Amino acid sequence: MANHKTTSGAVAAAPELLIRIDRAAAPGLRAQVERELREAIRTGRLPAGAELPSTRALASDLGISRGIVVEAFEQLLAEGYLSARRGSGTMVAPGRIAADRGKEAVPKSAAEPARTSVRYDFRPSVPDTSTFPRRAWHKSLRRVLATAPPAALDYPDPRGTRALREALSSYLNRVRGTAAVPERMVMCNGFTQGFRLVCSVLKQRGARAVATEDPSHEEQRAAIRAAGLRVVAVPVDDKGVVVERLERTAASAILVTPAHQFPTGAVLAPQRRAALLAWATRRQGFVIEDDYDAEYRYDRDPIGSLQGVAPERVVYIGSASKTLAPALRLGWLVAPVELLKDLARIKEMEDRGSPGIEQLAFADFLECGELDRHLRRMRRIYRRRRDLLAKALRTHLPRHRVFGIAAGLNLMLELPAGADEEVIAAAAAAHSVHVGGVQRYCVRPNTSPALILGYGMLRESAIAEGIRRLAAVLDSR
Amino acid sequence: MANHKTTSGAVAAAPELLIRIDRAAAPGLRAQVERELREAIRTGRLPAGAELPSTRALASDLGISRGIVVEAFEQLLAEGYLSARRGSGTMVAPGRIAADRGKEAVPKSAAEPARTSVRYDFRPSVPDTSTFPRRAWHKSLRRVLATAPPAALDYPDPRGTRALREALSSYLNRVRGTAAVPERMVMCNGFTQGFRLVCSVLKQRGARAVATEDPSHEEQRAAIRAAGLRVVAVPVDDKGVVVERLERTAASAILVTPAHQFPTGAVLAPQRRAALLAWATRRQGFVIEDDYDAEYRYDRDPIGSLQGVAPERVVYIGSASKTLAPALRLGWLVAPVELLKDLARIKEMEDRGSPGIEQLAFADFLECGELDRHLRRMRRIYRRRRDLLAKALRTHLPRHRVFGIAAGLNLMLELPAGADEEVIAAAAAAHSVHVGGVQRYCVRPNTSPALILGYGMLRESAIAEGIRRLAAVLDSR
């Protein structure tokens, strides 16, 4: 009974089990062990099918003789609480239905939300997770686990492991034109934590208001408010954010998506880039650069980061969510020197640093050129999807203008003036097409109606049919 | 030149490189490519030894003919900026020293802190990272990467992946006597984030003050303050936290370490446990249970969690930092129903959930019984270290009383009344012995002087010599 065979055939360790006995108490030890086990099975602490430790291990744990445990097991086997199979140890009898103390108390509202499946999913901001380079990522993880020193498993440097900050700063300088060095970097859990850290530091330094582009993600405005700051919404036109409108506000920082504005797809025009940095210098403020899907461009020249031009006035935020997978939760900041210490201190206070093994794996992955390789592949895939989408739109919706098509993982489809995005989205959903409007990203409702069409996770075969269905919905209105 | 050999011999993908060209500008394209590359090398964006993309890949990226890139490379080879080796592509000439734009601006204070090495390291709260079960962890990661569906790589459920909440609740119910169900769990980044999430939710619900044990970690008091709450310090004696002192305060919640008080090692006495839960029920408040190193017990009976007794009044916080490795940053909450929704919402807002692949790996690791196996092994190892430490203390410091020896990864060594812990620690450090006093954990300085001796990461061979040196320091005073 010492070796428990698991279903996978491997020899499992004897499982642990919490049992309380009182050597001085009235009922004998055997009765106590029986009672504790019975109680654990009745309350669901030991569910049906759960393996029990071997009698030898349990006796050793409790500091009692093995015979007592053997007798207790035999009694419970006889009572039907336990069942035994040759070669697979003792387990809680599979038929038993236990009263689960905790589960019953959990109301429906707190239970798992249902995920509906959609056949033509045009949601933006979601990359294709089916193409994740699992083999290469596994190789990097394996190499790290085989070679990293024990210290790499201790509490990580709250700013991120040195090896990753080195590899990543080289990568960003090469591919995104940043002026990054390891000392300027702070690793964080995706864009979300990074932006929140920046807001907290700005608030502590006396900032009152942070601007965002209008339209942009509502979650970002919520993060600004949660830091105790006021949100200022600055309009976006086809040249990106309107900097002269920013200049009239009280904001001392602004979050922008210069490479590919979300959701309009506009590229920040050269004059606007210069005006934005001039504003930050004059104001002694900060531009927070969300380098959102900048790695995906198709038929336009690459656009370097703002950070590379003004490293002391720009906080650069990047993540692997769009380039690799959101589940990695790998994000990073490249920060001006005057914010570095505070950012590192807040990151340490928040969670004592991001997971260490994955950081080292990402460093290895970058150094082997695997991200370059993956991005080349994905750019081909996404470009093909974009081409098919553009073609389908020309075929089925030829009178609708399309914006932001040169880069990114989404585009914007103009709707006729007065069109109701919500009604259209609901009608599309009834035909298994998941699509959303631009208004949900707007603070001021003065943007003309449009749909945001993401093609990150759309199968090629689904694109034309999805647009045909969408066109039928639009034509019927 | 299409295939670049890396030093490891693998064929690397063509690296990406940001180069801006203006097809309409005065200088020819070749001159522009040359200028951009030269500038990237001069400024350090392309460091010495960095590999360049193949001429074919770069030309394709820029949408220009390959001949232009070949000519530009040849010019820069001639100028000594680049060097070429047969079979290994083109790279930035190794001898070049670039002016690094970013690094020079980083002041010394923001640079990496020096880590000093200590020969006899008795710091508490640090487990032995050299025994991390790398092979088993790797197997779990490999299995996850081979079998998880693509959706597992998308944004995770902010509460944690379902599979892990299932595996972990079973484990905790079995080993720690909790009343956990997946619906009650929220995964977080170590204890630190979990405790902060709880403080934020309590604050939002109108709490004004949260109590901690005195002594305890200062970082925990800082987290309470950072949430906008007042800290109330409740004294600890040899039966754990003094509950009747808590009853006289304004606190509506208290953070406790019932299984093994940190740093005194006291176990919360049965009457105190009952009184604490009665207080929480009467007050409609919450006990926040830090199940600190509860898995390590040597010669005392196991102590079940408070959460299992009163699941609606106890927030249970656990982590893998002491049982596996701090670098994993795996932590979890088992929460009362009335706090669940708010905890999940704040976790989503903070970082959109913890990394997904590691959560699935941990689920697999638990299900294979690997944590049970690892803990059995570590308990033997730590017990041997503890026995050697106790023996060394009896031999070299026989008149000093020792507390908290039955469990955990540290014990408390009483010092004579009036002894100055800081002076002793400094004198010990001069003999390569790293040890700290209890006063640093105290709010009120009325605890008698003592040293906290951690044995988590101490080699067996170092224990006796470390204590011999410490005794020499103490005897000489």
Q: B114 or B50, which is more confident?
A: B50
> What pLDDT, on the 0 to 100 scale, is given for residue B14?
61
CA distance A475 to chain B (A): 34
| Beta-carbon contacts below 8 Å between A and B | 314
**Chain A residue whose CA is closest to B298:** A61
**Chain B residue whose CA is closest to A330:** B355
User: What is the average pLDDT across B192-207?
Assistant: 98
Residue A54's pLDDT band, with cuts at 50, 70 and 90, is: confident
pLDDT at B169 > cutoff 90: yes
pTM of the model: 0.85
> What pLDDT, on the 0 to 100 scale, is given for residue B27?
66
Residue A26's pLDDT band, with cuts at 50, 70 and 90, is: low
CA distance B128 to chain A (A): 8
Cβ within 8 Å, pair A110-B337 = yes
Cβ within 8 Å, pair A352-B192 = yes
> What pLDDT, on the 0 to 100 scale, is given for residue B342?
97
User: What is the average pLDDT across B387-416?
Assistant: 95
Candidates B111, B137, B173; nearest CB to A45: B173
Candidates B6, B103, B327; nearest CB to A152: B327
pLDDT at A97 > cutoff 70: no
User: What is the average pLDDT across B253-273?
Assistant: 95
Cβ within 8 Å, pair B19-A193 = no
What is the tens place of the pLDDT at every residue in A141-159? 999 999 999 999 999 999 9
User: What is the average pLDDT across A297-307?
Assistant: 85
Cβ within 8 Å, pair B15-A222 = no
CA distance B454 to chain A (A): 15
pLDDT at B381 > cutoff 90: yes
Q: Please give the mean pLDDT across all residues of chain A.
A: 88
Residue A117's pLDDT band, with cuts at 50, 70 and 90, is: low
Q: B386 or B299, which is more confident?
A: B386
Cβ within 8 Å, pair A326-B4 = no
> What pLDDT, on the 0 to 100 scale, is given for residue B298?
86
Contact list, B50 vs chain A (CB under 8 Å): 170, 174
Contact list, B4 vs chain A (CB under 8 Å): 369
Candidates B20, B51, B103; nearest CB to A183: B103
Cβ within 8 Å, pair A372-B190 = no
User: What is the average pLDDT across B165-173?
Assistant: 97
CA distance B14 to chain A (A): 7
Cβ within 8 Å, pair A145-B162 = no
**Chain A residue whose CA is closest to B50:** A170
pLDDT at A226 > cutoff 80: yes
CA distance B103 to chain A (A): 6
Candidates B46, B184, B190; nearest CB to A174: B46
Candidates B20, B111, B376; nearest CB to A302: B20
pLDDT at A94 > cutoff 80: no
A433, A392 Cβ separation under 8 angstroms: no
**Chain B residue whose CA is closest to A152:** B327
What is the tens place of the pLDDT at every residue in A173-193? 999 999 999 999 999 999 999
> What pLDDT, on the 0 to 100 scale, is given for residue B466?
96
pLDDT at A132 > cutoff 50: yes
How far is Cα of residue B414 from the mean position of the Cα atoms in its chain?
29
Q: B237 or B56, which is more confident?
A: B237
pLDDT at A33 > cutoff 80: yes
CA distance B214 to chain A (A): 20
- Among B273, B261, B214, residue whose Cα is nearest residue B404: B261
User: What is the average pLDDT across B138-161?
Assistant: 97
What is the tens place of the pLDDT at every residue in A314-373? 999 999 999 999 999 999 999 999 999 999 999 999 999 999 999 999 999 999 999 999
Contact list, A340 vs chain B (CB under 8 Å): 106, 110
**Chain A residue whose CA is closest to B347:** A193
Residue B21's pLDDT band, with cuts at 50, 70 and 90, is: confident
pLDDT at B155 > cutoff 50: yes
Candidates A18, A109, A351; nearest CB to B329: A351
Cβ within 8 Å, pair A340-B180 = no
User: What is the average pLDDT across B81-101?
Assistant: 68
Candidates B6, B174, B196; nearest CB to A17: B174
CA distance B395 to chain A (A): 27
Candidates B107, B326, B370; nearest CB to A154: B326
What is the tens place of the pLDDT at every residue in A9-24? 333 346 778 877 777 7
Q: Which of B129, B201, B339 to mutate to test the interface with A (most CBs of A within 10 A)?
A: B129
Residue B19's pLDDT band, with cuts at 50, 70 and 90, is: confident
Q: A45 or A436, which is more confident?
A: A436
pLDDT at A91 > cutoff 50: yes
Contact list, A100 vs chain B (CB under 8 Å): 181
Q: What percent of chain A has pLDDT over 90?
A: 68
Contact list, A170 vs chain B (CB under 8 Å): 47, 50
Range with the poorest average pLDDT among A66-75, A428-437, B141-150, B234-243: A66-75
Cβ within 8 Å, pair A16-B175 = yes
Contact list, B147 vs chain A (CB under 8 Å): none
Residue B95's pLDDT band, with cuts at 50, 70 and 90, is: low
> What pLDDT, on the 0 to 100 scale, is given for residue B372?
95
Q: Are strands A436-437 and A402-403 parallel, antiparallel or unpaired?
A: unpaired
